[in-house]
Amino acid sequence: MSDRISLTGLRAQGTHGVLDHEKVEPQDFVVDVDLWLETSDAVESDDVAQTVSYADVADEIVAIIEGEHADLIETLAHRMITRLSEFPVDGIAVTVHKPHAPIPHQFEDVSVTMEWWRTIEPDTYEVVISLGSNLDHPHIHIRSAVEEIGISYDVLAVSGIYETAPLLEEGQTPQPNYMNAVIMVRTSKELEHVLEDLQFIEDQHGRVRDARWGARTLDLDIIKAAHFASNSPRLTIPHPRAHLRRFVLEPWLEIEPEATLAGRRVDEIVANLPDQGVRRVDALSEAIALPAFWPPVAADSASGNGSDGSASGNGLAGTTGTAGTASADGLADVDGSASGNGSAGPDGLADAVDSTSAGDSATAVPRTGSVAPARSASSAPPESQFPDVL
C-alpha cells in the first residue's frame, strides 16, 4: 500500500480564463495535490532524497500557474499532472480551484479535479517447457499443444521435433518411439497457474494417467522457470532429472545455445552424457494437414475452480484436488500414477519429463533458433544409464 503526501491551499496568481480580461489581469488560483508513493526507504534513512520534496512539488505547481496562459482550469490541472508524474510516485490527484471565476451569481468555489495512476507492468519471466507424445499422431499433438500454449503465453522460441526410443521397465509392453520438442515462453502468471494450464492442455489431448511409464498422447513438463526454485510435492523446479535426458536438453539447446540448468551450461551437460538415440527429425515450422478427426475429444470441462479438471476463470483448467498429486513437471500425475518413461525416484514420484513422442512428420508453428544437425538413430541405452536420483 502506498503512502500519501498532501499539499493543500497552495495559492498563486495567473492569467487563465476564456474572457479577454482574464488573459491580462492576474487572478488567484488555489491548488490541492495528493501524491501516493512508497516512503519506507525515506523512513528508514530519514533522508529527503528518498522521498518527494513537497517544496519541489509546490515550485512546479506555482510555475505552471504563473506560466503559459490556458483558457481552462482543466488544462492547468492536466499540465500539473503531467509534470508531477515525472516524480517517483504511484498516483496523483490534483484539484485546481478558481475562487474568483467570472460568474454573475453568488458561489463559494469552482474547481476541477484530475487523477493519474501509474500503470504497473507485472513482472514477467521465462519458462522452458518440454513437450512429447507417442500416441495418436504425436507430431500433431505437439503442434497443437504449442498453438494452445501460445493462446495464453508469449511464445519466444520453439525447437524442432526429436525422436527418441522409449525407456521401459523389464517386461513392459513395447511402445512407439517418442517425439519431443521444447518451447520457451514468457509469462507473468504464478508457476502454480502455469502448471494447471499445462495439465488442462494435457487433458484436452486425452491424456490418461493409468499406468506408470505408460504411453501417452501428450506430456508437458516445466523444466526451468527463470530464477525460481521449488521443491514442493506438487512441483519441483528446476526439473530434478532433466540433466540426464538428451531428448530434453538437445531441443532446448537448439533454441537457447547459452542455456543453463542448475548453474551448469546445458551444452557441457550434454557433452558428458552417453548417446541416447536422440535424433532430430523435423522442424515445427513445416506445415502438416490436420486429420479430419482433429482435435481429439476434450476432457470433461465445466465452470468452477478447476478442482476436477474443469475450466477455470482464465479458460484453462487446473487439476488440483483430484486424487494424487498433480504435476506437469512430472513428479506425480493427477491420479497419483507416475508419468514419463524413465524410472521413479526413491520418494515414489514419477518423471513426466522422461520422454514423449512418436515418429511422424513435423508440425506447423513459427520457430526461432538455430537448427541442430540431424543425429543418427541408435537403440535406447539401458535403464542403468538413467539413475533416478540426483
Q: How far is the C-alpha of 82 from the C-alpha of 118, rounded, in Å?
A: 12
Cα R_g (the chain), whole angstroms: 30
Q: How far is the C-alpha of 377 from the C-alpha of 258, rounded, in Å?
A: 26
Strand pairing class (260-261; 264-265)? antiparallel
Amino acid in the structure at residue 55: A
Closest CA to 279 of 161, 122, 119: 161
Cβ-Cβ contacts under 8 Å for 147 (sequence gap 6 or more): 365
Q: How far is the C-alpha of 210 from the C-alpha of 135, rounded, in Å?
A: 15
Q: How far is the C-alpha of 87 from the C-alpha of 231, rounded, in Å?
A: 41
Please give the C-alpha separations between residue 55 and each of 60, 83, 84, 291, in angstroms, as whole numbers.
9, 14, 12, 71
Write out 240-288 in H/E/C secondary structure.
CCHHHCHHHHHHHHHHCCCCEECCEEHHHHHHCCCCCCCEEEECCCCCC
Q: How far is the C-alpha of 165 from the C-alpha of 380, rounded, in Å?
A: 5
- Coil/strand/helix, residue 202: helix
Cβ-Cβ contacts under 8 Å for 28 (sequence gap 6 or more): 11, 12, 13, 99, 100
Write out 224-236 in H/E/C secondary structure.
EECCCCEECCCCE
Q: What residues are annotated to the active site? A: 98
